[in-house]
Amino acid sequence: MSALPRILVIATGGTIAGLAPSPAEPGVYAAGVVDAPALLAAVPALGELAELRAEQLFALDSSDLGPAHWIALACRVRLALSDPELDAVVVTHGTDTLEESAYFLQLAVDTVKPVVMTAAMRPANALSADGPANLYDAVSLATAPGSASHGVLVTLGGTIFHAVGLRKLHTGRLDAFAGDRRGPAGSTNGPELFRPPPAQRALVDPAALTELPMVEILHVAAGSSPALLEAALQAGARGLVLALPGNGTVPQAWRGPIARATAAGIPVMRASRCGSGAVGRHPDDAALGTLAVGDLPASQARVALMLALARQQPALLRQLLAAP
């Protein structure tokens, strides 16, 4: 009989490691309380899937994770995957900023070994906690031969997503996430991947990054003042992502300020405030100097822009936005 796969589980906190004062009221809880060994111990069946190691990297609500944490996580994942004694990595994370961390890992980790992220919508002691099943699915997916060379995969609620285009669409449902316009990448029934791996994306070495430039997302509502754009630039933003109405429609009042910003060398990206759907190229992009985000949600477009600015490679940004 062959040995079980060897997997490192890296815990970063989040709801999956949260505890509520009352299991019957899971909406109020402290995130990141349960440590990595305890997360594994709560799912004894994991021992039938793999030989697991547990490591606590952070113990935070994911709303408190930022670029410095992304860099540290990517460096740790890369180091783990360079270990010939390890076959895959599973990362537990909070749901609130899962889409940003997953996308950063996709761009910063170059490996054929599986990298799977998971999370939970309910704390660990909720009456119907979803974390144990999600963790089991993540480890199962990480051991599946078909998971190799798919880049970063994310699984919650029985569904598998590619990191690129991932977005959280609901505040409380167990099926809170969606993929890009093409839908999920697969199902944990098997597990089965029914979409091909994403096209090769430009990669960055996180060890070469000490920090990422400031990029802000501005939510543009009906009648929002373009003074918000000027305020963000005065605060030090080196790039902007605009979460615009509909298909990235630019209000008339914003056209002049946007054109002046791009003429001054500030990259401005057109995204949508809608929960799903792509933002394609438009004549406004040529007229205003903007760049459409394509399939990326505003949160991931911000990550792409931060990396392009850090590397001083505008072509990198266009490559990341290219349709798969």
Peptide bond into 184 cis (omega under 30): no
Encoded amino acid at 73, one letter? L
The count of other CB atoms within 10 Å of the CB of residue 130 is: 23
Burial class (CB in 10 A: 0-12, 13-18, 19+), 82: exposed
Q: What is the 3-state secondary structure (H, E, C) of 228-271?
A: HHHHHHHCCCCEEEEEECCCCCCCHHHHHHHHHHHHCCCCEEEE
The label of the residue with tokens 């078909």 reads: 146
Rg of the chain over all Cα atoms, to the nearest angstrom: 20
Catalytic residue list contains 15: yes
Nearest CA to 29 out of 169, 132, 129 is that of 129
> At a CB cut-off of 8 Å and minimum separation 6, what does 110 contact?
203
Q: Which token pair is 71? A: 């860099």
What backbone phi and psi angles, to 5 degrees, belong to 158?
85, 5
Whether the CB-CB separation of 116 and 90 falls below 8 Å is answered with yes
Per-residue buried b or exposed e for 9-38, using 16+ beta carbons within 10 Å of the residue's own CB: bbbbbbbbbbbbeebeebeebebbbbbbee
Three-state secondary structure call for residue 138:
helix
d(CA 120, CA 117): 11
Q: Which sequence positions are flagged as catalytic?
A: 15
